[in-house]
Each structure stands twice: as structure tokens, then as C-alpha cells.
Amino acid sequence: MRNDGSTILLDGNMVQYQSDFSNSLDSLDIRKMSNFSENFGLIRNGTTLVVERRKTISNTDTIFFKLWQTHQITYQFELITLNMEQPGLSGYLEDLYLHTKTPLNLNDTNRINFSINADTSSASPYRFRVIFSTLAQPLTLTFTSFKAFQQNDNVDINWKTENEYNLKQYTLEKSTDGINFLKASVIKAKNAIVNNYSWVDNNPLAGESYYRIQVSPIDGKNEYSEVLKVTMPKGFSFIKAYPNPVQDNNFNLQISNEPAGLYKLMLFNQFGSLVMQKSIKHNGGNSTQLIKASQIIPKGIYQLEIIKPDGSMEKFGLIY
């Protein structure tokens, strides 16, 4: 800091927090190169960094600063914190020389003056650190909306949340009886104040299906949403091929409320050439059959044609 109160930038560093970062030193952390003036870096496991990337704070965390080649003058820290506000989290700058703790605004710019004097302890490279701590709290997540409804021959699942904090993911679960659930899809949590999510069940069954959401915190116990029921018309009939894009050269053919009999499958490439032909027997009602190709099918866009027992045809686009 100059005598007239103005400032000049001498050095800087950055710490980023994100759920998929690691607290171990890795390729995402950048080592610091010294300069001829004052140096301001981050110290971790004996290594000086200019950029450090760490996991989202779940309980406590400390940023260890290293400050060297200083002079006996007054300096100013400009600690810029962005989007770090979360329930229960607090932070402060600790001065080990003056034995002071200065609270930090976790979504603003914090300017803190300090001086180096004739006391050699005031120039200790490890004089400063930032300490974060959070109070253990129950999950504050609120479902403001959770809907499941028929949309053409699919079931759309939509939900909205508020106050997401420290969540890992949502797992969509599906059941035919409302008691025994199986995983249908996993969606990564956004961890924002207000969130919107959606998922489409492209393979609903005729009759009643039940849906719920498992909420998984990064640290803590899983919780569940309420259970929603969707009833597809009993006369509802369809043929579907999934997954699409196809995985491992195989796909499932789901037949619901279609006539019993022999179904002929023909797969054509984009040039109209037949690359696979099969016949399957459907006994009526609901069934799902795994369709295995007898050869490796090259990546591309294909058309699946299905001839029903009555001679009618359905066509699907498949991506391999």
C-alpha cells in the first residue's frame, strides 16, 4: 500500500472448490514460479502453488498461504470469494503473528490491511491462513414440485428443489408394486439455490408404475421423496427398442399389449442394405427380449423395421 493510500497489485493466487476435484495434489493444481518482488502463494504438502483445486467443503478446510520477500511496509490482502455461501459455512483470516481472526464475507471482496515491522516474526512466510468451518446440519433440501405424468407413450418425471447443499446425485427409482424399486436413472445434483430437473421414462409398462427419487448427499444418509403413481391405459400398446444409442452391440425390444405371434425384425443401414434379420415369438401381454446381433455392427444410424403378426409394420431409428 502506497503512502497516499492507493494500492498496486503485487501477486495473487486462486483456490477453487468443486465436488469432482481432489484434495490430493494432481495435474489440476499449478505450481508457483517465484518472482523478484513480493511472492504470495499457497502451500500444500510442502509444495508451493499458484492455483489449487479442492473438493467442495463438507466440514472444515484450510487455505495455507505462503508470503515471502516482503518489506517493512503496510500491505493489503484482497480476498475475493465468489459463490461460497452455503448453510452453516463460515470463514475467517487468521493472523498467527497478531493472534487475530478476521471474519470473511463469503460472497464479496474482503480487504484486510497488515504490516511488516522490525520483528522478524511479522515477516514469517506462514503467518496467514484462511479457515473454513461448517456446522453439521440436517439436509435442508426442499422439494417444491414433484410430478410424474403420461406424455404420449412415455412418462415424464419433473421435480424442482430449493436449498440444495452438499448433494451428490438423484437416483430415479421405478417399481411395479410401489414396494420393490429398481434404479432407472442417475442425475447429478446442481447444488444451487433453485433447481429444475426432468427425466423421461421411455419404457413405461401398461397399467400402474410407481416412481420415487433417492437423494444422496456427498456425506450423509440417503433420503427419499414421496412415491408417485402413473397409470398407463390398460389397452395401451407399443413396441420400443432401447437403449438408443445401442450399447454393447445389443438392444432390448419391449412389446406391450401387442398381439401374440411371430415378429420379424430387419435392420437396415443408411444405404438401405439389410445388416440383420431376426424373428421373435411374443406370447401376448408384456414382454422384453434381448436382441443380440450375430456380428459386430459398425457405428452409424440404422432403421429397424418390425413386421407384426397381422402384417403391419413399425419403424424405428437406432444409433449404434
* Alpha carbon distance 42, 129 (integer Å): 9
Instruction: Indicate the residue among 186, 210, 232 that finishes a domain.
Output: 232
Expressed as residue numbers, the domain containing 66 is 14-134
Domain count, the chain: 3
Query: Nearest 5°: phi and psi at 221?
Result: -95, 140
CB 104 within 8 A of CB 84: no
Higher pLDDT, 2 or 211: 211
- What CATH code is carried by the domain that includes residue 227? 2.60.40.2060
- Asked, for residue 193, whether it belongs to a domain, the answer is yes
CA angle 92-93-94, nearest 5°? 110
- What CATH code is carried by the domain that includes residue 272? 2.60.40.2550
Instruction: Tell how strand 228-232 and strand 250-256 pair up.
Output: unpaired
Instruction: Tell how strand 47-54 and strand 14-17 pair up.
Output: parallel
Q: Is the pLDDT of residue 218 over 90?
A: no
* Alpha carbon distance 184, 169 (integer Å): 13
Average pLDDT over residues 161-188: 87
pLDDT for the residue 236: 64
Percent over 90 (pLDDT), the chain: 48
Average pLDDT over residues 225-251: 83
Whether 152 and 245 share a structural domain = no
Q: Is the pLDDT of residue 53 over 90?
A: yes
Indicate the SS3 state at residue 121. helix
Q: Is the pLDDT of residue 21 over 70?
A: yes
Q: Which three cell numbers stand for residue 182?
A: 429398481
- Asked, for residue 62, whether it belongs to a domain, the answer is yes
pLDDT for the residue 179: 85
Read off the pTM. 0.44
Percent over 70 (pLDDT), the chain: 96
Q: Is the pLDDT of residue 101 over 90?
A: no
pLDDT for the residue 33: 93
Whether 220 and 298 share a structural domain = no
Whether 214 and 249 share a structural domain = no
- Hey, which of 71-75, 173-177, 248-252, 311-315 has the most confident mean pLDDT? 71-75
CA angle 126-131-134, nearest 5°? 165
Whether 18 and 129 share a structural domain = yes
* Alpha carbon distance 216, 198 (integer Å): 17
Q: What is the mean pLDDT of the chain?
A: 88
Whether 183 and 128 share a structural domain = no
Average pLDDT over residues 209-234: 86
Whether 192 and 282 share a structural domain = no
CB 93 within 8 A of CB 61: no
CB 180 within 8 A of CB 203: no
Q: Which of the four pLDDT bands, split at 50, 70 and 90, describes residue 70?
A: very high
* Alpha carbon distance 73, 157 (integer Å): 62
Instruction: Indicate the residue among 85, 116, 134 that finishes a domain.
Output: 134
Whether 189 and 162 share a structural domain = yes
Higher pLDDT, 241 or 73: 73
pLDDT for the residue 258: 83
Q: Is the pLDDT of residue 113 over 60?
A: yes
Q: Is the pLDDT of residue 143 over 60?
A: yes
Strand partners, 238: 256
Give, for 242, the enclosing helix (H) or strand (E).
Answer: strand 238-247
CB 292 within 8 A of CB 259: no
Radius of gyration of the chain (CA): 30
Q: Give the CA-trace dihedral at 227, 216, 139, 188, to 10 degrees.
A: -100
Average pLDDT over residues 250-254: 88
Whether 120 and 80 share a structural domain = yes
Whether 82 and 175 share a structural domain = no
Average pLDDT over residues 17-40: 93
- Asked, for residue 47, whether it belongs to a domain, the answer is yes
CB 157 within 8 A of CB 199: yes
Q: Give the CA-trace dihedral at 56, 62, 63, 67, to 10 degrees.
A: 180
Q: Which of the four pLDDT bands, split at 50, 70 and 90, describes residue 152?
A: confident
Alpha carbon 69 to chain centroid distance?
42
